[in-house]
Amino acid sequence: MTDSKITELLARAASGDAQAAAAFTRGRALRLHAAELVSASGRTAALRMLREAS
């Protein structure tokens, strides 16, 4: 989702559009989940490199 679409959804949600609020919340949850997957992958890779270096 681009920043302009996120901004539009947030503005619509702020004006009382329940569907826009739900869409914004779902999008935010998906972005947070994706970020956590990347972080977990990075931690796994770092631990693997540390074990190989030992």
Distance CA 40, CA 54 (A): 21
The total domain count for the chain is 1
pLDDT digits (tens, 9 = 90+) for 9-47: 889 999 999 999 999 899 889 999 999 999 999 999 999
Q: Is 10 left (phi over 0), alpha (psi -120 to 50) or beta?
A: alpha
Residue 40 domain boundaries: 3-53
**Tokens standing for residue 46:** 């770092």
Residue 5 has pLDDT above 90, yes or no: no
Closest CA to 11 of 3, 20, 19: 20
What pTM did the predictor assign?
Answer: 0.64
Residue 1 has pLDDT above 80, yes or no: no
Q: Is 16 left (phi over 0), alpha (psi -120 to 50) or beta?
A: left
